[in-house]
Amino acid sequence: MKLLIVESPSKAKTIEKYLDGAYTVRASVGHIRDLPKSNKDAIDIPGGFIPKYEISPGKEKVVSEIKSLAKRADEVLLATDPDREGEAIAWHVKEAVGLKNPKRVRFYEITKDAIKEAIQNPTEIDDNLRRAQEARRVLDRLVGYDLSGLIWKKVRYGLSAGRVQSPALRIIMEREREIRAFKPEQYWTIEADTETIKNIKITLGCDKEPRDINEVEKIIEIGNKEEWSVKSVTETETKRSPKAPFTTSTLQQTASTRLGLAPSRTMGIAQKLYEAGLITYMRTDSTNLSVTAQDQMAIVINKKYGANYAHKNIYVTKSKNAQEAHEAIRPTDANKENAGLTDEQQELYRLIWKRTLASQMSDAKVLRTKITAVVGAGEIPTFSINGSRMLFDGWLKADPEARGEDVELPKVAKGDILKLIEIRNTEKFTEPPGRYSEAGLIKELEKRGIGRPSTYASIMKTLEERKYVEKINKALLPTDTGEVVSDFLEMNFPNYISDTFTAEMEDELDDIATGKREYVKTLKDFYGPFAKEVKAKDKIEKVTNFGEADASIKCPVCDGPMIIKLSKNGKFLSCKKFPDCNGARKITGEAMEGPKETGEKCPDCKDGKLVEREGKYGKFISCSNYPKCKYIKKGEGAPVNSTGVKCPKCKTGEMAERRGRFGIFYSCTNYPKCKYAIKAKPTGKLCPTCGSLMMLGTKTIPERCSDKLCPNHNPHKLEKK
């Protein structure tokens, strides 16, 4: 028996199909070992930064099965993803299972030919690449553990910091400060509707945007009085060259702009396309295309658009650490214009197909025209209009969304008289720089050398999950919590979250991957000074408030002064005498809705009253003396959002909406006496097969049974049978 191990179950199915039963293919389902959570002792620092790995929870069965199969196998191939992470997974499988001499194969695309070729040319596990991944993992754990621990003590419990996420947050905050400091300036735009000698309307814009209303009035006065004529007509033929095929970052940026996909979502969809054998590996910073791929593209272009559209283009990869043996992200079969199982997969595949095909096509040719008009003897600024006309669409034929609008101008000649119809002005104000979108931030991180292709999506996801930023109409807006964390780090650790330091650290990790640097020396050179600086900051005072509130805003309870504090939900105003006085207001100074009294006394402290509050998981009842008394009421009488649907188990309670660690679920109001619960909102109907509650489903299955064992839970399976 021959055993081949990959990391994804869907990838395993595709590969097994291509190997015609020659290999038993199994998936590790991602990493099988990791550092223990929240444990600094997981790394032996004095011993040389040796990580103490353990089998990841839930992976015991996977390890056991692979070990059992490996004992019976004549040959074991490790075919995890062809990057640092994949190299690390392969090494962990080898170590955890106790494999003696496994062979390493790398699939840059999952096609029959590529798989067979890789299997015929196996190599060893690249220890330098694996060490680079380990260095990144250890480094991130040490930085995150030490910085987060300090922030917990000095700012607020539950906050975190990271080696790469913190510089990204700093960049967002720098832009936010620019926006806040921006002072808008008044200016005017002036437009004139004119008519050519052939009675064709043409709207010209003033080539100057005056800052003075007197100058505006002068331009309009002369414009209405003097004669208008064409001063010049300039025509310039320009070329628009196609863009390089996608790298990880450019795919994330374009998918965000065109398809509205978050980077993490884009990578998840791309992973599915790769595993299905539809695209090449999607974590790459190379713009290289193989000769075979270029030839295949040329055949498709010739057939679909014509020989004059095909042009072999070679792109220079900008990333100095790009692995040219890797390719850009491209379709494995250029003949497939559409592919994918879901709408999102089809949209992303189509985007990749268009970009790759366009990259091997001729330049587009555009005729740009500019008409400039003069008023009278030229006492006031000239007016002009720009237009363009496509002479040859070239690569835009394959990617028309990149074309933009053609603005064709009427034919006029120098000296032609223009008849003024109307001249008008519009008051405007200069705008501050825009906030970063996810696509914009990825571009900025790449430009500054912060992070790598495999980390961009996780950086975005972490910032949102930590509630350090919120996305509003695609713009990333720092939250109060994000601002406080960034301010603290910028004040106390400016060097460690600077562009220069972060980019240099990334280069050093890349040097470990190529064997130019040693693992221990790199970590020692970094961690020694870093640990000392963190220890030194342990002496700084705790940040209990973030400044005094406006003196005119008084405590609603004792009428005393107030200060700015930070809660899980953002900044608010607290009485300066807290905890002796619980008075609080919103950050705007408005009255904060206090907890609603229930009329019951606290059973723990006796002198407190039970009040209803709003928390992370919805409403709850607790003692009014919090934090001195931390009593929370549970069970009957606790607030619930009932759906009005009777519980099918106890018959007396109702199904109510609740929030838990994993989101919204629905359970009986008689909890804990009755523990009946379902995942989705009940419809009020009972399943005709098993009698359980029916609940809301998906677009394709609007309603389904809440019992997983019932056939009505997933009707699609019945249809397939």
DSSP notation for 340-351? -SSHHHHHHHHH
pLDDT in tens, 119-143: 999 999 999 999 999 999 999 898 8
pLDDT of residue 594: 67
Contact, 450 vs 253, CB < 8 A? no
pLDDT of residue 616: 60
Going from the C-alpha of 513 to that of each of 248, 327, 392, the distances in angstroms are: 19, 18, 46
Do 646 and 713 lie in one domain? The reply is yes
| CB within 8 Å of 27: residues ≥ 6 apart | 5, 6, 7, 8, 9, 11, 12, 62
Q: Decide if 556 is inside a domain.
A: no
What radius of gyration do the chain's Cα atoms show?
32
Contact, 717 vs 705, CB < 8 A? no
Contact, 682 vs 643, CB < 8 A? yes
Give the pLDDT mean for 59-77. 91
Of 319, 336, 362, the residue at which a domain comes to its end is: 362
Give the pLDDT mean for 549-563. 88
The band of 720, judged by pLDDT with boundaries at 50, 70 and 90, is very low
Q: Decide if 546 is inside a domain.
A: no
pLDDT at residue 718 is higher than 60: no
Q: Scanning the structure block, which residue is given the tokens 């839970």? A: 713
Predicted TM-score (pTM) above 0.85:
no
Give the pLDDT mean for 236-249. 94
Of 402, 429, 456, the residue at which a domain comes to its end is: 429
Going from the C-alpha of 188 to that of each of 221, 224, 241, 371, 704, the distances in angstroms are: 15, 17, 36, 21, 61
Do 349 and 444 lie in one domain? The reply is no
- The DSSP code sequence of 438-460 is HHHHHHHHHHHT-S-TTTHHHHH
pLDDT of residue 297: 94
Q: Decide if 549 is inside a domain.
A: no
pLDDT of residue 661: 65
Do 17 and 121 lie in one domain? The reply is yes
Average pLDDT across the chain, whole number = 88
pLDDT in tens, 615-672: 665 678 888 888 788 888 876 666 667 788 888 888 888 888 887 766 788 888 877 7
Of 633, 668, 693, the residue at which a domain comes to its end is: 633
Output the domain CATH number for residue 661.
Answer: 3.30.65
Do 16 and 92 lie in one domain? The reply is yes
Q: Decide if 554 is inside a domain.
A: no
User: How do 103-104 and 75-78 pair as beta strands?
Assistant: parallel
Contact, 602 vs 608, CB < 8 A? yes
pLDDT of residue 1: 83
Residue % of the chain over a pLDDT of 70: 95
Q: Please confirm, yes or no, whether 53 is among the known catalytic residues.
A: no
Do 149 and 225 lie in one domain? The reply is no
Q: Decide if 505 is inside a domain.
A: yes
Helix (H, G, I), strand (E, B) or coil at 50: strand
Buried-exposed string 215-224: b where 16+ CB fall within 10 A, e elsewhere? ebeebbeebe
pLDDT at residue 223 is higher than 60: yes
Residue 579: asked if its preceding bond is cis (omega within 30°), the reply is yes
Domain coverage including residue 213: 186-241+365-429
pLDDT at residue 345 is higher than 90: yes
Tokens standing for 34? 């990791």
pLDDT at residue 589 is higher than 50: yes
Annotated catalytic residue within 53, 108, 274, 281: 281
Output the domain CATH number for residue 351.
Answer: 1.10.290.10
Give the pLDDT mean for 329-340. 92
pLDDT at residue 721 is higher than 50: no
The single-letter DSSP state of residue 257 is: I
pLDDT in tens, 702-716: 888 888 778 787 765
pLDDT of residue 39: 66
The mean-pLDDT minimum among 240-244, 255-259, 705-709 falls in 705-709
Do 256 and 402 lie in one domain? The reply is no
Going from the C-alpha of 689 to that of each of 159, 597, 666, 694, 714, the distances in angstroms are: 49, 46, 21, 11, 13
pLDDT of residue 587: 84
Do 118 and 6 lie in one domain? The reply is yes
Do 445 and 519 lie in one domain? The reply is yes
Look at 398 and 453; give whichever has higher pLDDT.
398
Q: How many CB atoms lie within 10 A of CB 438?
A: 29
Which candidate, 294, 286, 356, 290, places its Cα nearest to that of 324? 286
Do 152 and 191 lie in one domain? The reply is no
pLDDT of residue 36: 87
Q: Decide if 553 is inside a domain.
A: no
pLDDT of residue 214: 95
Residue 372, exposed/middle/buried by CB under 10 A (0-12, 13-18, 19+)? middle
Q: Decide if 543 is inside a domain.
A: no
Do 142 and 161 lie in one domain? The reply is yes
Q: How many CB atoms lie within 10 A of CB 712?
A: 18
Taking 3-state DSSP, the helix, strand and coil percentages for the chain, each rounded to the nearest 5, stand at 35, 25, 40
pLDDT in tens, 347-385: 999 999 999 999 999 999 999 999 999 999 899 999 999
Do 650 and 501 lie in one domain? The reply is no
Residue % of the chain over a pLDDT of 90: 48
Q: Decide if 403 is inside a domain.
A: yes
Do 6 and 119 lie in one domain? The reply is yes
Q: What ranges in 121-197 are assigned the alpha helix state H?
A: 127-154, 165-181
pLDDT in tens, 415-435: 999 999 999 999 999 999 999
pLDDT at residue 445 is higher than 50: yes
pLDDT of residue 238: 94
Helix (H, G, I), strand (E, B) or coil at 498: coil
pLDDT in tens, 279-294: 999 988 888 898 889 9
pLDDT of residue 218: 95
pLDDT of residue 364: 95
Give the pLDDT mean for 77-96. 92
Q: How many folded domains does the chain comprise?
A: 6
Tokens standing for 283? 């974590």
Give the pLDDT mean for 192-211. 94
pLDDT of residue 355: 95
Output the domain CATH number for residue 532.
Answer: 1.10.460.10
Strand extents, DSSP E, 217-332? 228-240
